[in-house]
Structure 1
Amino acid sequence: MALLVEVGWGGLVQAPSTITWTDISTRVNQAQGGVVITRGASDELSEAQPGTATLMLDNDDGALTPGNASSPYFPFVRRNAPIRISVAVIPQKSGSAPYPMEQLGDDFDDGRLSTVLWPSSYGGVTEAGGVVRVPVSTAGNAGLQSAREWSLAGSKLTAKLVTVPKVNGSSAAAASMWANSTTSGTRIGWRYDAIANTMSAQTQTGFSDSTAVAFPYSPISHAWLRIRESGGTVYWESSSDGFGWTVRRTLATPSWVTSQTHAVEFPTTRTGGINDFVEWDLVGAHIRPRFYGLVNEFPVGWQGMVATAKVTATDLFKRLNRLPVLRSMLAEEILEQAPMVYYPLTEDSTSTTAGDIGGNGAPSLAITQSGAGGTLTLGSTAGPPETDEQVTVFTPSSATAGKWLRADLGPQFEDPPMYNYLCFEAWFQTTTTGRCIMGVHTTDLVDQHLLSIGAGGILQIEWSSAETPMTTVTVDGTSGLADGNWHHVVYDQREGAVWVDGALVDSALAVSRRWGERVLHVGGYRGTRLWNGSIGHVAIYSTTDTSAGPTAATHYTAGMTGFAGETADARIERLARYAGIPSVTIWGSTFDPIASQGAGGSGVVARMREIETTESARLFAERDWYGLAFQSRDIRYNPDPQSEVFTIDYADLETLSVELADDDQKLVNSLDASRPGGATQRVTSPESIRDNGVYDPGALSILKTSDNSVLDAAWWRVSRYADPAPELREVPIEAYTMPSYLDILDADISSYFTVHNMPAQSPTPAMRVTVEGYTETIKEASHLIQFHTSASLTDSVWVLDDAVYSVLDSSTRLAY
């Protein structure tokens, strides 16, 4: 087992595909403290907490001192540096030759090149600093080479490429990884060409491959290389972390792969120029990620004269928990579309200007007077129904006497990338026709575009250009918009298309396609047609494709319903996008419709936790990349013994004490549950109340869309915990010493395993448990994992005519 600790100096945790990772594993003090990682929850009724990692690092050279200009990592030794921690399990050779190639393993950590594994190495190959270094020299070829005792058939060869050779004035320089046949020059593997800076997947005959597939070399995506044979196909694969692999090429397996015994070789060659080297590491390693997150700080400390840095890190919930509270879903949807300008018009009623929150530094809209009289009050009336926001009221004395909002957006609005066609969006409410919602024009008034409400409440697009005087185009199918209700309009100038209240009403408007209109008016136009009513959430987008209008049109649903009725997995993914998380791993398939979360004022984590509670689901950070996992409750239903990640004998538990809990910590036999706008309903277990008294955890308020769904959720809770069975809540395992080490490392939140051969006093000889979280301590030749567990039986559900899951009064709980 080798510990792999990497830091992404200068990288951004939210952009994992751009991070170049630096291995600092040799700095970790594994003798004292090692690495301690916590993950998940203490039990199934608790939320998964932010994952943490703590490790002591050597800092004698000052490389981990913030602000140290002589550090090789300067200036990136700073808080919030991305960090990932993995365990590399090195295989051991067993059985008889030919051995599966995946049993060829070396971590190069003892400072001595193994002559047993690499008896045929040549050209000055050395091992130092935790890697093997193969010269790339004009003095002759060099290579790390095994004995001929391996087979690629049904197996694989894996290695980490640490350092590639440079051109250094050479006409040819290359480093490779091969599985060699018994015929010289016939081989399969990867080849790096320093001159072309390409990585190519090759199957050579006579030392060449006319069908080689080459890729521009990437130190990120080609950090790990693998060749694998399975089921008659050879796969060339690369990886950024040694865990998740991308197939780069496939080929029908050559006959020699299955009929011959192979040698493994890492050769190099150079013609002319200056000598250097290639470095490889962790040949054959099985990588198991343990942590992915952010360093909280790099504190410098001393133990006597020994400088150390005791580093703590937190997973992505660190970043999520410090994000500002979310605005309304409508506002978040608009901001996600990256508007050029966005004026919500939700300022306090005492404000005299309205600000842009689009992030491009546009000036504020100023209240402008035309004639005498009239009022304009920002943030003074309820906006679209599911926003919980106050927007602006315009009350003019007449069409030409009153107030409107105006701003010169500045010359940047006319320059790239702002000069593309425009897409306009606004919400409005009025009973008065002949008034203007919003308009833009150039400073010379040659080009103009307006959105207005004409006779009969019909939407109009008005425009002019150097070639055409002011022209009015009536948008078909839009009468009745002056009815006093909230309406939403999107006008895509590029496509000549209009959406009203989320529906496409016209897609072939004969209007000018112009740009560079920088003066914006809202609630009137140049002192005329002053709006009488309310306007909010005005946005303008710069559009280069057909997506701007259709996307903005979906904002109607955000404002009117808060996306009520979308399923829980879709809601979690939506909230994740608001937080800048590109995707969420969805586990399971049972997801109910969710009520609106349209109003603002709470953080993204709080909103996600509402969904988690509503669904009896699990939400936590991934441990191998920057992402979230959301697990449906159904992935825990009736765990199949064939799907257990591992089993373990009680005698193998590394502990002096194991406790079987049978207390009232989780007991629930009375529960009131409700939903927004719905009934409050009570569910009880009379038998449990009779035996234990009332155990009520307090009212449960969840985001269901029907009273029946609320009732189902309440029954599910009470049926599971009215009479909790005895359970193992802590299972400590010294995983490093176990033959099933890799399987134990695969256990994650909601995985399950069985402890066999329980002591005679146990109610059952075997107990199956579900993982809720764990604390692990990784040291030299030790990997102790303290699993926090719950009884898997808690999640059993009824299955018709099943010998195990249809036993009356025992396992007839209905699934929810």
Structure 2
Amino acid sequence: MVFPQTPLDVRTELQIGGVWTDITTDVYSRVPIGIECGRSEESVRTNPSKAALQLNNRLGKYSPRNPMSPYFGLIGRNTPVRIAVHGGNSYLNVTGQNNSGASTPDVAALDITGDTDIRLDATLDRWVTPAGAQHTDLAGKYSTAGNQRSWMLQERRGRIYLEWSANGTAILSATSTVAPAVPPSRRMAWRVTLDVDNGAGGWTVTFYTAETIAGPWTQLGAPVTGTGTTSVFASTTVLKVGDATNLSYSKPAGQIHAFELRNGIGGTPVANPDFTAQTPGAPSITDATGKVWTMATNGSIRNRHVLFHGDISSWPTRWDLSGNDVYVTAEAAGTLRRLGQGRKSLDSTLRRRLPSHAPLAYWPCEDSAGATQAYSPLAGVTPLIVTGFDFAKDDTLGGSGALPTVAPGGTMRGRIPAPPAPSTVWAVCMPYRIDGTPPVAEQEMLSWTTTGTARRWRVVQSATATHLQCYDAAGALLFESGGIITPDVYGRWVRLEIKATQSGPNISFTLRWTQVGGGSYPVSDAFAGTLGNLSQIDTSFGPGLPGIRVGHITAWSADVITSAYESADHGFTGETATDRLARLATEEARTVALSVYTDPSIPTTRLGSQRPADLLTLLQDSADADGGILYESKTDASLAYRDMNSLYNQTPRLVLSYTADGEIGPPLEPTDDDQKTRNDITVSRASGSSARAVLESGPLSVQAPPDGVGVYDDAITLNLATDDQPEPIASWRLHLGTWDEARYPTVRLMLHAAPHLIPAVLQLTIGDRIQITNLPPWLPPGPLDLLVQGISHAPDQYTWDVELTCTPAGPWRVGVYDSADLGKADTSGAQLTSGITSGATSFSVTTTAGLPWTTAPGEFPARIVIGGEEMTLTGVTSSTSPQTFTVVRSANGIVKPHSAGAPVALARPVVYAL
């Protein structure tokens, strides 16, 4: 990628009346645009991104309340703005709309009927279609019109999907056995091969991923096979990328960089458009095979690279004394700012979930202290009239706000509307909890009325048994169940569930106790009668039930209790951090979009119950518990999350040389201070136990100087699922807080002086690893490994400065089983038996603690360090201390003599990931 150095094509657009409008000519260059995103070096949470720019307002265009402005009524608070640079690599822009992509006409070369190899390279806004939406088209030669199905490539539930037809009508398909891990850069290449005859009487589809279409390719999951050989129909339909079929599937949004279709697995390309080297705006292009690709109505070749996407919340107009210089100093902010302004708590998980399943009646009972009745959020359902209810007393049900306790003899009565359509089933559910001594005599637990033969239904329960009693219209006992042995339902939250069904002349029922987060215990029976409809909850709690707590009482005309309550009743306790973030984003799709970057095969931290809180707090609490980074997308108004696992053992996204002209701008200054030092850490689980980790010895320990640095303590409460989680998290945070390395808070790049860096810088994402080589002699030997925590841009006509806010990447280098570099455990203590010269290649080492060093040949070579000099250890002799080490000196460019007693250690001892 080469950008013209003078001038830089920086463009600013406002979304005016729903249309992106270029306002670049009104943006003053006298004050360079400033863009900041990510988090500051000392912050543990991401700050809202922001952009500052100055607009020419002499004509009053950017005064929202000026009726003479052409934008009157179209701009105002939170008007979307984006800032981009134009130049360098192009791409096929796809918008998520129909007719978005490119196509080439059918020719004989595209009519592959045998083995097929399909490859796609893209940077998409969403690699995983949101829940409830259709699967996403990516490429295909596929049309249902006239049965012209050949094949199509799609994303389905995050996995790669291939569908093909042997005759244009009947279809076969294969889905990758695992989902690919979407990288934070959002760029990924997918490859699918179809072996139509695998030699075993069947077909095989194999899936691969890579960083780009250039490879190398890594197989994704296991191959998928089917019985019987197959073929691919030679349809006459066009070949498309983007909007690839005539079906109503979702369409991709983002950038498509390249596509390949090969005849045979690894065979000759028959179509291979490379969109990266095309002229922006070109209506058509020709690929290397001679195929002409035409852009669709909503597809185009572009070279716009977005640096910032946010909202302008205010338009302050200023002017000089002459009144000739009138301008708006606008500051835009990202999505986090907007989310941080609203502090309304989301309802409890039960309150959010249950209405979506269409109950006939629902009373959450989450009313405030002092309430005299229980509100219903359902239209047409009157409040639950109660006596003896003391609201907002118990908050131990994970999926609920605080619920009432009920005094002995308390009552509740509420009308249940008739079902909208005739039904042969109804159900009632009441979560409850009884602590203390179970009642000896039977007590009424729940009672309701119906319009059927059994007008009144009662559940009465004692410490050992339960009866279901049904009475007719005259009040006579119509049916009583035998004594049902009550399961362990005391001292915990339980759902009491009753389902009844009309089964011919009989009413069949199931009485069920479901422990919240535990087992379920059903009992079924039947008696003669007509079911009728539910009409009223009418319960007088037995006087032997002191302090029973109840809430989220529902009535239904369908058997949906399990699906309605399951997991929501305990607030999704045990849900992983990434699953919770994705679920919240789906539930709150009108408020925020969020992409999760994780390896689906590696589970993230399990969380405790989701309590009522505002959306941003819930999102950030999930990120805090997992230890990953929640940040804003720079390309659209969405959030992104990269889990902690994605920070381990990264390949550098950007490699810089200190000595290369223009790659590193001044100053590159190490900071050796105590800003990040934490050597005494306590981690507590919300509503649970805690654990403490302390570094007792070493240069950053709690010992007083010079043996340590003194106590730097910290304490944090996290929303974790179980009490065994705080201990490893405390140890990991201690590892991060006692990493003994200088900080390089800022790395400055001057892209106008080193334009070859621009492609990699544009791909940088918060949390990426960078590396600086060829460090000057006054700094410790490199390379210098850093994690990017924040990115600031200052693009101007003739300069483009970028500042990267960084922290050390070293603590995120963790152990890998059987790795020669990352899989070796250090000894507990070793030192030189006697001093050595700068030329010594063999010397004696004494073990001072723990076991001696291994002598197994397979463990070498290994990297050791003595006094800052790294050496390559090629062998150890003697199985007891002292031992003889054979080395190659100066592995890191340093060589010097060392004194007797100098510590000997592995240069990269294994670090156990959380």
| Paired amino acid for 1:453 | V
RMSD: 5.6
Shift in alpha-carbon separation, 1:810–1:615, aligned structure 2, 3 A: farther
Shift in alpha-carbon separation, 1:162–1:705, aligned structure 2, 3 A: closer
| Offset at residue 501 of structure 1 (A) | 1.6
749, 758, 773: which one aligns with 1:741: 758
Q: Secondary structure at the match of 1:717?
A: helix
| Paired amino acid for 1:724 | D
327, 330, 345: which one aligns with 1:310: 330
| Offset at residue 795 of structure 1 (A) | 1.9
| Offset at residue 604 of structure 1 (A) | 4.5
Q: Is the 8 A contact 2:33 2:796 kept in 1?
A: yes
Q: Secondary structure at the match of 1:521?
A: strand
Alignment of 1:288-327 (within 5 A): 288-299=305-316, 304=323, 306=326, 308=328, 310-316=330-336, 318-319=338-339, 322-325=342-345
Deviates more, 1:492-501 or 1:607-616: 492-501
The one-character-per-residue Cα deviations of 1:172-202 (angstroms, maximum 9, x if unpaired) are xx9997779999xx9xxxxxxxxxxxx9999
Q: TM-score, normalised by structure 2?
A: 0.58
144, 155, 158: which one aligns with 2:92: 158
| Paired amino acid for 1:538 | H
Q: Secondary structure at the match of 1:406?
A: strand
- Quick one: distance in 2 between partners of 1:475 and 1:782? 86
Q: Is the 8 A contact 2:373 2:385 kept in 1?
A: yes
Partner of 1:40: 38
Q: Is the 8 A contact 1:365 1:406 kept in 2?
A: yes
Q: Is the 8 A contact 2:403 2:549 kept in 1?
A: no
| Paired amino acid for 1:616 | G
Shift in alpha-carbon separation, 1:255–1:425, aligned structure 2, 3 A: same
Partner of 1:537: 551
598, 609, 618: which one aligns with 2:629: 618
Partner of 2:448: 439
Shift in alpha-carbon separation, 1:405–1:258, aligned structure 2, 3 A: closer
| Paired amino acid for 2:733 | R
Shift in alpha-carbon separation, 1:707–1:497, aligned structure 2, 3 A: closer
Shift in alpha-carbon separation, 1:755–1:486, aligned structure 2, 3 A: closer
Question: Which one has the bigger helix percentage?
Answer: 1
Partner of 1:812: 909
| Offset at residue 746 of structure 1 (A) | 0.9
472, 478, 500: which one aligns with 2:513: 500
| Paired amino acid for 1:714 | A
| Paired amino acid for 1:365 | L
Alignment of 1:110-121 (within 5 A): none
| Paired amino acid for 2:804 | F
Q: Is the 8 A contact 1:752 1:770 kept in 2?
A: yes
Partner of 1:218: none
| Offset at residue 791 of structure 1 (A) | 1.9
Shift in alpha-carbon separation, 1:333–1:472, aligned structure 2, 3 A: farther
Q: Is the 8 A contact 1:433 1:482 kept in 2?
A: no
Q: Is the 8 A contact 1:28 1:55 kept in 2?
A: no
| Offset at residue 76 of structure 1 (A) | 5.3
- Quick one: distance in 1 between partners of 2:296 and 2:489? 72
The one-character-per-residue Cα deviations of 1:44-81 (angstroms, maximum 9, x if unpaired) are 76222222333445566766554667877775534345
Partner of 1:554: 567
- Quick one: distance in 2 between partners of 1:345 and 1:3? 56
Shift in alpha-carbon separation, 1:579–1:477, aligned structure 2, 3 A: farther
The one-character-per-residue Cα deviations of 1:444-491 (angstroms, maximum 9, x if unpaired) are x999785633686537496999xxx99768699773588576421345
Partner of 1:428: 432
| Offset at residue 730 of structure 1 (A) | 0.5
- Quick one: distance in 1 between partners of 2:793 and 2:714? 34
- Quick one: distance in 1 between partners of 2:138 and 2:241? 9
- Quick one: distance in 2 between partners of 1:88 and 1:41? 23
The one-character-per-residue Cα deviations of 1:74-113 (angstroms, maximum 9, x if unpaired) are 75534345x3636354347xxxxxxxxx6xxxxxxxxxxx
Q: Percent identity?
A: 14
Shift in alpha-carbon separation, 1:203–1:631, aligned structure 2, 3 A: closer
| Offset at residue 578 of structure 1 (A) | 6.5
- Quick one: distance in 1 between partners of 2:27 and 2:62? 14
Deviates more, 1:241-250 or 1:673-682: 241-250
Shift in alpha-carbon separation, 1:256–1:556, aligned structure 2, 3 A: closer
Q: Is the 8 A contact 1:732 1:786 kept in 2?
A: yes
84, 90, 105: which one aligns with 2:87: 90
| Paired amino acid for 1:693 | V
Shift in alpha-carbon separation, 1:337–1:59, aligned structure 2, 3 A: farther
Q: Secondary structure at the match of 2:756?
A: coil
How many residue pairs get aligned? The number is 663
Query: Does residue 1:49 correspond to 2:66, yes or no?
Result: no
Shift in alpha-carbon separation, 1:179–1:569, aligned structure 2, 3 A: closer
- Quick one: distance in 2 between partners of 1:259 and 1:427? 60
- Quick one: distance in 1 between partners of 2:95 and 2:43? 44
Q: Secondary structure at the match of 2:802?
A: strand
669, 682, 697: which one aligns with 1:659: 669
- Quick one: distance in 1 between partners of 2:494 and 2:815? 48
- Quick one: distance in 2 between partners of 1:210 and 1:234? 15
Q: Secondary structure at the match of 2:27?
A: coil
Q: Is the 8 A contact 1:64 1:309 kept in 2?
A: no
| Paired amino acid for 2:578 | D
- Quick one: distance in 1 between partners of 2:81 and 2:458? 52
| Paired amino acid for 1:428 | Y
Q: Secondary structure at the match of 2:48?
A: strand
| Offset at residue 323 of structure 1 (A) | 3.5
475, 482, 494: which one aligns with 1:487: 494
| Offset at residue 587 of structure 1 (A) | 2.4
Query: Does residue 1:787 correspond to 2:804, yes or no?
Result: yes
Q: Secondary structure at the match of 2:733?
A: helix
Q: Secondary structure at the match of 2:735?
A: helix
Q: Secondary structure at the match of 1:694?
A: coil
| Offset at residue 549 of structure 1 (A) | 3.2
Q: Secondary structure at the match of 1:718?
A: helix
| Offset at residue 566 of structure 1 (A) | 4.1
The one-character-per-residue Cα deviations of 1:608-643 (angstroms, maximum 9, x if unpaired) are 544444443322233345554333333233333xx5
Partner of 1:351: 371
| Offset at residue 29 of structure 1 (A) | 0.9
Shift in alpha-carbon separation, 1:696–1:345, aligned structure 2, 3 A: same
454, 459, 462: which one aligns with 1:452: 459
- Quick one: distance in 2 between partners of 1:770 and 1:739? 21
Shift in alpha-carbon separation, 1:632–1:178, aligned structure 2, 3 A: closer
Partner of 1:669: 679
- Quick one: distance in 1 between partners of 2:138 and 2:683? 60
Shift in alpha-carbon separation, 1:597–1:732, aligned structure 2, 3 A: same
- Quick one: distance in 2 between partners of 1:766 and 1:792? 11
Shift in alpha-carbon separation, 1:541–1:405, aligned structure 2, 3 A: closer
Q: Is the 8 A contact 1:336 1:578 kept in 2?
A: no
| Offset at residue 31 of structure 1 (A) | 1.8
820, 825, 836: which one aligns with 1:802: 820
| Offset at residue 749 of structure 1 (A) | 1.2
- Quick one: distance in 2 between partners of 1:259 and 1:354? 64
Partner of 1:116: none
Structure 2: tracts of 5 or more residues without a match: 1-7, 112-136, 153-189, 192-212, 215-231, 233-237, 244-249, 285-294, 503-508, 825-863, 865-904
- Quick one: distance in 1 between partners of 2:782 and 2:758? 23
Alignment of 1:395-406 (within 5 A): 395-396=408-409, 404-406=411-413
Q: Is the 8 A contact 2:97 2:251 kept in 1?
A: no
| Paired amino acid for 2:339 | R
Alignment of 1:9-28 (within 5 A): 22-26=20-24
238, 241, 244: which one aligns with 1:236: 241
Q: Is the 8 A contact 1:48 1:620 kept in 2?
A: yes
| Offset at residue 537 of structure 1 (A) | 1.9
Alignment of 1:104-253 (within 5 A): 158=92, 235-238=240-243, 243=254
Partner of 1:391: 404
